[in-house]
Chain A
């Protein structure tokens, strides 16, 4: 098993659909993150969970709803998205939110909103 696994790898959804992205980490980390990567832009932090508690919501629209049932799993629920939400969504994990250790990333979900 790789360290951080994301499913699905690719997703095409209509603006009225509801879908979920899944992330699982096998590294024993306590912090998990959702990032958005759009073309020609730096990675943007969306949400942070530390020991299953949400510690950061970076002004993300409510059509994105995160869920963290335990320290190993993280979901991003999507509903009524807009075409500009099309991007690569990356999950990452690190030892702890307040530590300065490196974060490890999953392969990402390429989302296309039509």
Chain B
């Protein structure tokens, strides 16, 4: 069964304290892995797409990496405005029309 597990469930950081969020996945074949950011009461905002192991994408203080079993979202020197829930989703290959499978998310709190 295709599955996405995110850890930790919640993460508290001090401003400037770098860390990583983990997304482990089990799929029959990966077509794409997606990272989203979601603020309370709002819809998910697209951040990155990764397609193959070894790929990396960067945006401001965020960097996403991908291996054959997991993805990491590295946050360098976070600021309070980075506080949000970060969602990971995968799209599986081999089955036409498969939609995104989401993890439960990691809620990040950054204090000044």
A contact residues vs B (CB 8 Å cutoff): 4, 6, 33, 40-43, 45, 48, 50, 55-56, 88, 90, 92, 97-98, 100-108, 110
Contact = CB atoms under 8 A, between A and B. Distances in A.
Contacts, number: 58
Chain B, interface size category, equals: 20 to 34
B46 A110 contact: no
Contact of A42 (B4, B45, B46): B4
B43 A42 contact: no
A4 B43 contact: yes
A88 B41 CA distance: 8
Contact of B102 (A43, A50, A88, A98): A43
Interface of B: 4, 31-32, 34, 36, 41-46, 49, 51, 87, 89, 91, 96-97, 99-105
A107 B43 contact: yes
Contacts of A98: 96-97
Residue with the highest number of chain A CB atoms closer than 10 Å, among B51, B89, B102, B103: B102
A55 B103 contact: no
A42 B104 contact: yes
Contacts of B105: 42
Nearest to B47: A102
A42 B103 contact: yes
B43 A110 contact: no
Nearest to A2: B43
Contacts of A97: 97
A50 B97 CA distance: 10
B34 A102 contact: yes
Contacts of A43: 44, 87, 89, 100, 102
29 contacts: A4-B43, A40-B104, A41-B104, A42-B4, A42-B105, A43-B87, A43-B89, A45-B99, A48-B97, A48-B99, A56-B99, A88-B41, A97-B97, A100-B31, A100-B49, A100-B51, A100-B91, A101-B49, A102-B32, A102-B34, A102-B46, A103-B34, A103-B100, A105-B36, A105-B43, A105-B44, A105-B45, A108-B41, A108-B42
A110 B34 contact: no
